[in-house]
């Protein structure tokens, strides 16, 4: 079995990976920011020195898109310099890296799903810092997988799906933007793809896109969550096209999944994935509903 280190393990993707690898726990080492800050290269070295890892999954990132506009230095320190540290240490100890990147490396001007060879052109600081991280990894380590994903959600941490569930359970009426088109992605499905890469151990290195199939606006995503959760409250979701954000957002950031499906399997539609997670949520919390 492969020995795997997961960085940024307390985030929603890290927690999801932990939750689906419980039966294989001996082969996974989950490290949170408190125990290992990826901007601390010496500490990274000491972790990699102490155990012979086969794979590193880097879930660590500065993910606050709005915050990155004013905390530019922090975003670049973690998403670019941190990613570079991880790549350099992986290179030194011959560890294959699976790094998570974002649809926000694109400017959103396309009218067709972005392929992995389309030219990135980020329009906010988060996207710029993530793109520089990708470039550092490509420069420093051949054995890498960079997975660009979008609109991640799970039942862990803070994310759009959980916000909508909480607000709807409190009977709020919500105005949700129709101004962006992208694809919601279940952390469980992304985690399964990551584990597939590790298990298969012969997928070509490089950049992969990963999301569900299809596209939606945030308004359509919210509506679908409510239709599955409490259909009688679906009119609580209203659309707006005047949503203000500090960071510029790509108007369109749908990812082309053809190469991923060729190397993996056909992906679910985003509606199928939302239905699945709401079912899990209802089963888990049915006594509260
Ligand atoms: N969320 C999305 O919609 C989305 C979309 C596209 C791509 N992505 C990418 O997907 C990956 C996983 O995202 P996520 O949603 O799981 O994010 P998340 O929940 O915010 O988790 C990120 C984790 O990284 C940790 N971290 C921050 N700085 C660190 C450092 N210097 N050293 C080590 N750990 C550090 C954070 O710890 P603290 O919380 O303690 O700071 C947090 O536990 C990221 O690379 C993100 O850029 C996310």
CA atoms within 13 A on the CB side of 105: 27
Q: What separation in Å is there between the alpha carbon of 235 and the centre of ligand 1?
A: 33
Predicted local distance difference test score (pLDDT) of residue 143: 98
Query: Whole-angstrom Cα distance, residue 30 to residue 8?
Result: 8
Predicted local distance difference test score (pLDDT) of residue 289: 43
Q: What separation in Å is there between the alpha carbon of 191 and the centre of ligand 1?
A: 14
Query: Whole-angstrom Cα distance, residue 257 to residue 204?
Result: 15
Site to substitute for ligand 1 among 61, 73, 144, most atoms within 8 A of C-beta: 61
Which homologous superfamily is 4-159+183-214+255-268 in?
A: NAD(P)-binding Rossmann-like Domain (3.40.50.720)
Hey, how many other C-beta atoms are within 10 angstroms of the C-beta on 263? 15
Query: Whole-angstrom Cα distance, residue 44 to residue 231?
Result: 48
Is the CB of residue 62 below 6 angstroms from any atom belonging to ligand 1? yes
Predicted local distance difference test score (pLDDT) of residue 286: 61
Mean pLDDT per segment of 10 residues, for the chain of length 289 residues? 96 98 95 98 97 98 98 98 98 98 98 98 98 98 98 97 97 96 98 98 98 98 98 97 92 98 98 98 72
Q: What separation in Å is there between the alpha carbon of 236 and the centre of ligand 1?
A: 30
* Nearest partner of 69 among 252, 248, 253, judged by Cα: 248
Predicted local distance difference test score (pLDDT) of residue 242: 84
């Amino acid at each position: 079995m492969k020995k795997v280190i997961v960085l940024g393990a307390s985030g929603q993707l890290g927690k999801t990976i932990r939750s689906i690898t419980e039966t294989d726990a001996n082969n996974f080492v989950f490290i949170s920011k408190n125990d290992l800050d990826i901007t601390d290269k010496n500490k990274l070295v000491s972790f990699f020195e102490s155990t012979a890892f086969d794979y590193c999954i880097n879930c660590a990132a500065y993910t606050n898109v709005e915050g990155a506009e004013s905390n530019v230095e922090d975003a670049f320190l973690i998403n670019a310099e941190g990613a570079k540290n991880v790549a350099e240490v992986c290179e030194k100890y011959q560890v294959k890296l699976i790094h998570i990147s974002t649809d926000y490396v694109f400017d959103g001007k396309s009218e067709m799903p972005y392929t992995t060879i389309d030219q990135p052109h980020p329009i906010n600081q988060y996207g710029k810092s993530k793109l520089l991280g990708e470039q550092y990894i490509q420069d420093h380590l051949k054995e890498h997988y960079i997975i660009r994903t979008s609109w991640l959600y799970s039942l862990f941490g803070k994310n759009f799906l959980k916000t909508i569930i909480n607000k709807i359970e409190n009977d709020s009426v919500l105005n949700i933007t129709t101004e962006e088109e992208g694809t919601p992605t279940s952390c469980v499905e992304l985690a399964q793809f990551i584990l597939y890469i590790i298990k298969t151990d012969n997928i070509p290195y490089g950049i992969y896109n990963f999301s569900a199939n299809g596209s939606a606006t945030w308004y359509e995503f919210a509506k679908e969550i409510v239709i599955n959760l409490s259909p009688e409250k679906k009119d609580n979701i209203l659309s707006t096209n005047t949503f203000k954000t500090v960071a510029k957002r790509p108007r369109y950031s749908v990812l082309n999944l053809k190469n991923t499906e060729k190397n993996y399997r056909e992906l679910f539609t985003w509606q199928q994935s939302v239905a699945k997670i709401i079912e899990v949520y209802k089963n888990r919390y049915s006594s509260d509903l």
